[in-house]
Structure 1
Amino acid sequence: MKSKILLVLLFLLSLLAIPLPAMAQAPTADFYADTTYGTAPLTVHFYSTGVTGSPTSYFWKFEHETSSDWNSHHFGSAVHTFRYPGVYDVSLTVTNADGSTTNTKQSYITVKE
């Protein structure tokens, strides 16, 4: 009887040692620019950094949607030219099968005349 109880306990303990699959989660997003201030037209290179979760798509937003050149679907990095003076928010949205995450940097780019 004791041996059966011991076998059951060993079996239950072995179940605890089975690694559980990782919980799926949306990716994280972060980025930086090579410059954040300058005169128009200002060409800025953007680089994603600290991105986790194996994103399947990247969506950059540089200007308001009324601009003719306001976004980009480039993976990992992007280049954008700000043609007009102003202060711009920039955001990066990364997506995978488990969801998406957006990181917006308010007043990130300042363009002077």
Structure 2
Amino acid sequence: MDLATEACESCHKDSQALNESEIAVLLKSLPDWEIVHVDGVPTLQRDFKFKNFVEALAFTNNVGELAEVRNHHPDILTAWGRVHLTWYTHAISGLHRNDFRCAAASDQLFN
């Protein structure tokens, strides 16, 4: 399974969120990511480390372009030498396969 190259599908409020078993299976393919519950909502999070702010900002911009192309947008915190990404599907207040697809694509941008 190559999550990074799978196309994202359109999500709506009636789209099905992944269950814990599905999340556990997909998370195995993303070892640097973790599930963090924020106000009861499961999110997929990772910190990326950089040598300086310029590299962190360039990565942020690349993730932004990825998000626009896929029409799926993360929460991004850019700081000196670090970018913190949070993927989750706002429409369903949970995790969808799109979140794992975009996390895998983010890893590819980093590598």
TM-score, normalisation: structure 1: 0.33
- Higher normalized contact order (CA 8 Å, seq sep 6+, divided by chain length): 2
Q: Could you say which structure has the larger radius of gyration?
A: 1
Name the structure with the higher strand share: 1
